[in-house]
Amino acid sequence: MNASGRVFFHAADDHGIARLTISHPGKLNALNVAMWHELRSHIEALGRTGPLPRVIVIQGEGGTFVAGGDIEEFPQFRFQADTLASFHEEVVAPALQALLDCDVPLVAQIDGACIGGGLEIAACCDLRICGTRSRFGVPIAKLGFPMAPLEVEIVARVIGETCLRELLLDARVLTAQEARERGLVTRVVADDQVDIEARQTAERIAQLSPQAMRLNKQALRRFANVAHPFSQREERHGHYAYAPSEEHREGLAAFNEKRPARFD
């Protein structure tokens, strides 16, 4: 697997503010398998070797958040149902769940593109702050494949079923203002103010009671997890049977060849 991308964790500063930076130079921070593993590891390691930070800011490097998955890597696992299921069930979903299970407040600092896996990560944060040029979407139907069941469950609970239907079924990419109107983002600020606004937000959170933050997040999780429609792996297994399909192969081939996909 290509491991040129990295996810860096920067320890808390004197205010108790830590940062998690997603970096994949030249690929708009597209996430590969190794990066998903790193993301999960950083979050699950919190508190093991030192005190928990008061708040974590999650950001992308180089003026963008995350522009989806590393499509160059996809052919290594996407065209067989078992390897495809393993990617979504054992790599992506556990990383997203680690974010949701984190008792530390998470602030997404969103510059530029917030697409696909980037949207999923942002959806798992508590607050989402973006600039006016930011864009949000999951246009994977153009690539010939759907969103995985557990990712549907996670994202729909956070951004709402109506909004997710629009993103998946119409392949819409929303402007920052449209995302704000749909409740997808917390605040929209000028592009050159995103870092400042995220920092000021984190500083306010860091001054509040860590115990209150922890208990609030635990209560919110209980409220959100009333039901688990895809709780049984057997119920999800059939979803991945599309792996070797012609539409799946055509969608990814068209993207890599920089041409419109032909779904006949």
Q: What domains appear along the chain, each with residue ranges and CATH number?
A: 6-192 (3.90.226.10)
Q: How many residues does the chain have?
A: 264
**3-state secondary structure at position 216:** helix
Stretches in the chain below the pLDDT threshold 70: 1-3, 224-235
Specify the DSSP element, H or E, that contains 233: helix 233-237
Q: In this predicted structure, what is the pLDDT of residue 188?
A: 98
Q: In this predicted structure, what is the pLDDT of residue 232?
A: 66
In angstroms, the Cα distances linking 49 to 11, 42, 46, 53, 219 are 11, 12, 8, 12, 26
Specify the DSSP element, H or E, that contains 106: strand 106-110
- CA proximity to 134, closest of 65, 55, 181: 65
CA distance 264 to 255: 16
Burial 5-16 (b: 16+ CB within 10 A, else e): bbbebeebeeeb
Q: In this predicted structure, what is the pLDDT of residue 231?
A: 62
**Chain segment 57-73, per-residue pLDDT in tens:** 999 999 999 999 999 99
Q: In this predicted structure, what is the pLDDT of residue 221?
A: 82
Q: In this predicted structure, what is the pLDDT of residue 237?
A: 72
